[in-house]
Amino acid sequence: MSLRITVLGRGAWGSTLARLWQERGHAVQSWSRRDGGSPAPLLPCSDLVVVAVSMAGVPSLAAGLAPDWPTGLPLLSCSKGIDLDSLGTATQLWRHRLPRAPIAVLSGPNLAAELERGLPAASVIASDDGALAQRLQMVLATTNLRLYTNADPIGTEAAGALKNVMALAAGISDGLGLGANAKASLLCRGLAEIGVVLAAMGGQTATLYGLAGLGDLLATANSPLSRNYSFGMLLAEGLSETRALERIGATVEGPRTARATLALARQHGWKLPICEQVVQLLDGSIDAGQAVRALMERDPRPEANP
């Protein structure tokens, strides 16, 4: 079955998906903010719209497209993060503007550069609409991208967003040369923090240990292909947030997500010590060494607590 797919966003991930699906035999058209104008004229001739823009671009895009969105047109969201203004995930922002549109999430350990080289990967399509998820699973899988489904879009998004913060922290750990023991401990405690947010937002615990949670964390916290990991390495060298972002030269979701998550934590009383230290480091209140000491000197507690 061939679909007419419109991909919004031509960054690394959007471009990779467009190429994979074009090779699969789908008719793919794409739009980027660099093109100017609105992608609204592309909607009527689409069977599926895939949104692969950064989180910062989602609110304005959703507001602009909502009046022209065709009835029944499905949306597949690939944006990972938490919006700093609304403190919502991408699909929460889209759902606010498109309350009746069929919506799904694509997330997982998908480093675009590896997929571009033809290396194998797996991801998950999450949706409250099980039939939609299964249909997209069948038509969007490729020879090197295996797709699974789940019914937990909010948990999938929470895990995908928070792993960027933990990958950033992992880059700091490696950049400081703290060793394998420290990094393993950091990622284990980081996974616990992701679990706090995921559960509080209504996600399912199983999602934490699936492709969108542990799977994505393992990929992005261990590869120089990960922007968030590389960004953390630069912070460990002593670069400021601004200088590190300039060196990366592309969108890094971890800083905005860390700040948005910490704002949520303060609203709801969640304890997220790694997120807190990352934000203090980003704001210049502490340096990387002080962040590590703050985490190591916390009061003793049971392992089950963050």
Rounded Cα distance between 14 and 94, Å, is 18
Q: Which amino acid is at 183?
A: K
Integer CA distances (angstroms), 115 to 136, 140, 141, in order: 19, 14, 13
For CA atoms 210, 212, 217, 219, give the dihedral sign.
Answer: positive
Single out the residue of 37, 117, 139, 55 nearest to residue 91, CA to CA: 55
Indicate if 163 belongs to the active site.
yes
The active-site residue, picked from 80, 163, 183, 271, is 163
Cβ proximity of 214 and 190 under 8 Å: no
Buried b / exposed e across 240-264, counting CB within 10 Å, b at 16+?
Answer: ebeebbeeeeebbbbbbbbbbbbeb
Do 217 and 166 contact (CB within 8 A), yes or no? yes
Taking CA atoms, 238 is separated from 163, 167, 287, in Å, by 22, 17, 8
Active-site positions? 163
